[in-house]
Structure 1
Amino acid sequence: MMTNLFSIFDPSTNIFNLSLNWLSTLLSFIFMPYIYWLIPNRYIIFWNFIMFKLHNEFKILLKNNKIFNSTFIFISLFMFILFNNFLGLFPYIFTSTSHLTISLSLSLSLWISFMMFGWINNTQHMFSHLIPHGTPNMLMPFMVTIETISNIIRPGTLAIRLTANMIAGHLLITLLGNSSSSIPFYLIYMLIFIQILLLILESAVAIIQSYVISILSTLYSSETN
């Protein structure tokens, strides 16, 4: 039962031995704002409003960063994860963010770039982060060990947080959907209502998780400056 349940996340769709599941990740670029249109429509105005709000919020977190436009890398990360989370809610579309292949690749590449930039350009500042202000001398070795471990596991926690939340919601929806053939007819309407509520919850989770990943990435970046 467990093998069949988790098999919904297997990238098994293929044509001529070519895996087509990962193409859902590329579909997000179709829905990106068409910035080259001469006359903005409501769709472009809506996305410009979201980008402007995210830019102002990320700019506050990156107040020590001299590069003003560095917030757009985190805005792009937010949009990429958001689109892929939403695409996974549609039937027969592969959920790429439910795999560590995508989430760990994003978080690990960002974390490595932040660490390389921080230790090369701001070495003294990075060392100061290992020992919080006011730490007693006896506790300094333990604090360095704890801070180092917490820093190393950051990309893993980012990836697992996104993957686990995507898997949990999809598994619950799948379990309820598979039980529809074995319940009485008068409970079908209740099951449909519960499924609709779960889809609304998963839509909120898709937005929240993409926002959390981008905010945490911004905070990790601000610590290296």
Structure 2
Amino acid sequence: MMANLFSSFDPMSSISNLSLNWASSMLGILFLPYLYWAAPSRLTTACSQVLLTLHKEFKVLLGPQNLGSTIVFTSLFTFIVFNNFLGLIPYVFTSTSHMTLTLTLSLPLWSAFMIFGWLNRTKHMFAHLVPMGTPGPLTPLMVLIETVSNIIRPGTLAIRLAANMMAGHLIMTLIGNTGPYLSKTLVSALVLSQILLLMLESAVAVIQSYVFAALSSLYASETN
């Protein structure tokens, strides 16, 4: 029995004092069949089409002078979407529902963008603090607002991903816990609702992965 609603997201469960939950973050690659690597197949074609589409999207955001940078963001999308879908499997730890992982992804990226921008595009970074058309008396206030909004970016990225993944899992857990107390007719409705929620969570898993990668690329483009 769960001690509380959030115990299903507890990363501290262990076997022989060895925490194994975080190892799930690297297990997604094992779900790919051998033929994915050995020979062309429908799976490799579908994955290639998805990655090519993402490459085109990020190329527009980053500009033609940073084409190689799209590899970072397509890899980020792939890593997050793998972990999101792993979390939909029963009794598998959802690593992306924890700030420990999401902040680990967002903070180094944001820090790298900021360091690069302030060292190599100092004038541009200062100019970015004051939007065009800002009245003179409002300039100090706009600089303060833009500075604060820039500083909280890694936190908002991390919270957005973790909160969206945790919210859906909590709803499914709450609804599922009512099953033993329902009649057979209501159990059928419960199963149907869980299937619909699972479909919704699958869509959220893809959307949140894309949003995280797309916003990261937007932050990178602002330093150029």
TMscore range, shorter length: over 0.9
Partner Cα distance (1:39, 1:136) in 2: 61
Asked if residue 216 in structure 1 is aligned to residue 207 in structure 2, the reply is: no
Q: Which residue number in structure 1 is paired with residue 167 of structure 2? A: 168
Deviation at 1:67, TM superposition (A): 3.1
Asked if residue 72 in structure 1 is aligned to residue 92 in structure 2, the reply is: no
Which residues of structure 2 form unaligned runs of 5+?
A: none
TM-superposition CA deviations, 1:3-51 (whole Å, max 9, x none): 5111111124322110011111011232469799453111111111111
Q: Decide whether the 8 Å contact of 1:12 with 1:21 is kept in 2.
A: yes
Q: Which residue number in structure 2 is paired with residue 56 of structure 1? A: 56
Q: Which residue number in structure 2 is paired with residue 184 of structure 1? A: 183
Q: Decide whether the 8 Å contact of 1:9 with 1:98 is kept in 2.
A: yes
Partner Cα distance (1:131, 1:33) in 2: 51
TM-superposition CA deviations, 1:117-164 (whole Å, max 9, x none): 000000001011000111111000000000000000000000000000
SS in structure 1 at match of 2:40: coil
Partner Cα distance (2:218, 2:32) in 1: 25
Deviation at 1:2, TM superposition (A): 9.5
* Pairing 1:74-153 to 2, within 5 Å after superposition: 74-153=73-152
The code of the aligned residue for 2:53 comes to K
Q: CA RMSD in A?
A: 1.9
Query: How many residue pairs end up in the alignment?
Result: 224
Deviation at 1:214, TM superposition (A): 0.5
The code of the aligned residue for 2:156 comes to T
Bigger drift between 156-165 and 182-191 goes to 182-191
